[in-house]
Amino acid sequence: MPRPAATGAAAAAAAAAAQPRPLVSDLAPMLQKVAELNNGLEALPSLVPFVVDGHVLGRMRPEFAEKLASRGDVFQITAAQGQQQQQQQQQQTIRLNPALATEQERTRAVAGFVEAPDGTKRLWVARRSRTKQTWPGKLDHIVAGGQPYGISCRDNVIKECGEEASVPPELAAQAVAAGFISYVSLLPEGLKPDVLYCYDLRLPEDFVPQPQDGEVEEFVLWDLERVAHVIAHTDDYKPNCGVVVMDFLVRHGYITPDMPGYTRLVAGMREGGPC
């Protein structure tokens, strides 16, 4: 009898040692990053929905909606009857003429990580090309991009892994769907309600991704401590990519419910989405 007890204690100690240790002591900087990404939430009630086939694809300022309404051959404006002018304004919608077709796009992101035999994880980080039109030189995921119409998320992940990071199809096919983040950003060019579908891809320790399509300058393999510090205390990451990596740290146990602000952080990463 004593021997199984000792074995059980050793197993428990080994299991405890294998548990991820928290990488941050204060979630306030990450909460601030999430709030900045969701800066469009307060503007939503004052904006006019843009509707295609019954689906709200975006919102616009009332003065711009009025300009579109002048093109009745393309756009149609509707307004519900309300008691007050403000209520009517909020209930207006701009609709695409039903005779016109559209395509739907989503977005997805892949977190490529390496796990050592002792359970230590490291994350592949991409640096965007400094010649890219958007967010040049910022840190990004190993693979990310838009979700085209007419192809499944899984097939698109496999395709993009090859095109962006030279990941073979048989390896890319091991990517596991790991949830999503959503947010609403107000940018100079307009409102951006977004959903990012997240995938985790465990890569062999001897695999090195290679830039393929010119969108990435380099890939670097970082300890998660460094990743967490850079996200929380610098602006080196593309803003929505940094939040996706925060979610990765939550999923893998490096940000835990014992930390003050945990529930606000997790809820904030899923506060936006289709508007």
DSSP for 225-243, written as a single string: HHHHHHHHH-S-B-HHHHH
Using one digit for the tens of pLDDT, what is the confidence trace for 140-152?
Answer: 999 998 888 889 9
Identify the residue whose tokens are 């307004």: 79
- Which amino acid is it at 73? D
Confidence of residue 171 (pLDDT cuts 50, 70, 90): very high
Of 91 and 268, more confident: 268
Domains of the chain: 24-41+103-268 (3.90.79.10), 48-96 (no CATH)
Using one digit for the tens of pLDDT, what is the confidence trace for 231-275?
Answer: 999 999 999 999 999 999 999 999 999 999 999 999 999 998 665
Of 89 and 177, more confident: 177
CA distances, 235 to each of 91, 95, 116, 125 (Å): 37, 38, 29, 15
pLDDT mean over 201-216: 95
User: What pLDDT, on the 0 to 100 scale, is given for residue 88?
Assistant: 41
Q: What is the Cα–Cα distance from 242 to 129, expressed in whole angstroms? A: 17
* pLDDT of 96 over the 80 cut: no
* pLDDT of 97 over the 70 cut: no
User: What pLDDT, on the 0 to 100 scale, is given for residue 55?
Assistant: 77
Rounding to the nearest 10 degrees, give the CA dihedral for residues 231, 109, 39, 66. Answer: 160
